């Protein structure tokens, strides 16, 4: 039986999903399912993750996947990813991501990505998150790949929740995907 996730990604490959998680147990379950589902259809999995969580995720994966399957999983340090320019700068993050996926695009290998977005506090300039999510939404549509952006629900003030609902066409709730009726496609100037 095909998973709901793989069915969605087969029906619409360019899928940008918001996952507002509650609790680390739920988070680990979802990311491991995402990785397993991707490998089952031959996707490479690019995981932007905090280094403190990578060993926990890898432990779960090693219990479920073969050594050969693990070669499809590629972890990227989230601190380096989001702060590659020395600050949270959406164009620099986009450039980093573009370089990261270029080998898959050139060799026409399918991939999907999971990005864990964490902040020390939500007092950061949240307009940067909005700028970034609009750039990412455009990239998902141009490069034709599925992406889940994971945010911790209790760390999200109401204005951030609203903005994220406007920049993600889909929302992952437990094991179901729902369409965001607040979604507003990005109009990124080229």
The residue with greater pLDDT, 54 or 79, is: 54
- Decide if 48 is inside a domain: yes
> Sheet holding 73-77: strands in order across?
73-77, 44-49, 111-116, 147-152, 16-21, 170-173, 176-179
Q: Is 23 left (phi over 0), alpha (psi -120 to 50) or beta?
A: left
Q: Domain total for the chain? A: 1
- Decide if 7 is inside a domain: no
pLDDT by residue (tens digit) across 1-52?
457 887 888 888 899 999 999 999 999 999 999 999 999 999 999 999 999 9
pLDDT by residue (tens digit) across 120-134?
655 556 778 888 899
Percent of the chain with pLDDT over 90: 64
H runs (alpha helix) in 43-183: 54-64, 67-70, 78-82, 90-106, 126-143, 158-167
Q: Please, what is the angle between helix 90-106 and helix 126-143, to 10°? A: 20
Taking the model in full, what pTM does it have?
0.91
- Decide if 162 is inside a domain: no
Q: Which domain holds residue 46?
A: 18-126+137-148
pLDDT (mean) for 143-161 = 92
* pLDDT of the residue at 190: 45
- Decide if 156 is inside a domain: no
- Decide if 181 is inside a domain: no
- Decide if 96 is inside a domain: yes
- Decide if 97 is inside a domain: yes
């Amino acid at each position: 039986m095909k998973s709901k996730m793989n069915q969605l990604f087969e029906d619409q490959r360019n899928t940008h999903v918001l996952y507002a998680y509650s609790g680390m147990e739920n988070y680990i379950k979802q990311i491991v399912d995402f990785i397993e589902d991707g490998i089952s259809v031959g996707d490479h999995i690019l995981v932007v993750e905090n280094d403190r969580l990578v060993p926990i995720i890898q432990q779960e994966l090693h219990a479920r996947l073969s050594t050969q399957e693990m070669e499809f999983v590629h972890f990227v340090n989230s601190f380096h990813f989001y702060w590659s320019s020395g600050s949270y700068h959406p164009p620099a993050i986009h450039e980093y991501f573009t370089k990261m996926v270029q080998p898959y695009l050139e060799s026409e290998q399918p991939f999907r990505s999971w990005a864990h977005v964490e902040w020390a506090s939500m007092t950061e300039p949240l307009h940067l998150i909005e700028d970034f999510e609009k750039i990412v939404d455009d990239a998902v549509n141009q490069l034709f790949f599925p992406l889940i952006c994971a945010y911790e629900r209790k760390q999200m003030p109401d204005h951030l929740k609203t903005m994220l609902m406007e920049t993600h066409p889909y929302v992952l709730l437990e094991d179901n995907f729902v369409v965001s009726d607040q979604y507003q496609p990005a109009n990124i100037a080229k």
